[in-house]
Amino acid sequence: MKYLIMKINIRIFVVILLISHLSFLTSVSVSAQESSVSSKPLTTSYDLVHPGLLPDHPFYFLKVARDNLMGFFKGPPIDRASFALLQSDKQVAASHVLITKKQNADLAHTSFVSAQDYYEQAIMHTLVAQKEGINIQEMSAKLSQAGAKHQAILNEIEQYLDAKDQTMFDEEKEQSEKLAQMVQSLH
């Protein structure tokens, strides 16, 4: 019985250790992915963050769980907006890597859809912050720059797509333009 309890405690400890060090693992992830995200000059000076673990990684579910947990505990709406924008940038970078390095259009599309969702959340949290009287000028500028960068990455991704995959990303292009209009209304 004592052995069984010890075995369970060890497993719990290992899971907690994995989750707590997942951010370390993502920063030590293959640096070739990081360089591929910024390998071609784009029209904006906004830099995307490293995507970390990609959706095809076996431990990706831990990253998602960690990010959801961290997002849940964010405080003021402006902090939630910053966090959602960070997640959006990570998903755009992941989508770029998935299409350019791994030629996985389905997973790249899923990542880009997720990026758009996070970007929309960032806009909504910024609107809430504005209604609460918080200064949103800096966040609004970041959202504008990020939107331009996301559209530039989307244009670059389209160069790697065949006709079938192109139709998947057409909706995202329209959504990206709608979100850009929402950001313009913040100014």
Q: How many domains does the chain contain in total?
A: 1
Q: What is the pLDDT of residue 27?
A: 43
Residue 38 domain boundaries: 2-184
**46 backbone dihedrals φ, ψ, rounded to 5°:** -75, 125
Q: What is the pLDDT of residue 26?
A: 46
What's the pTM value of the predicted model, to 2 decimals?
0.76
One-letter-per-residue 3-state SS of 23-92: HHHHHCCCHHHHHHHCCCCCCCCCCCCCCCCCCCCCCHHHHHHHHHHHHHCCCCHHHHHHHHHHHHHHHH
Tell me which residue has tokens 């959706």. 55
Considering only CA atoms, which of 29, 18, 24 is closest in space to residue 65?
A: 18
Q: What is the pLDDT of residues 97-127, one digit of tens each?
A: 999 998 889 999 999 999 999 999 999 999 9
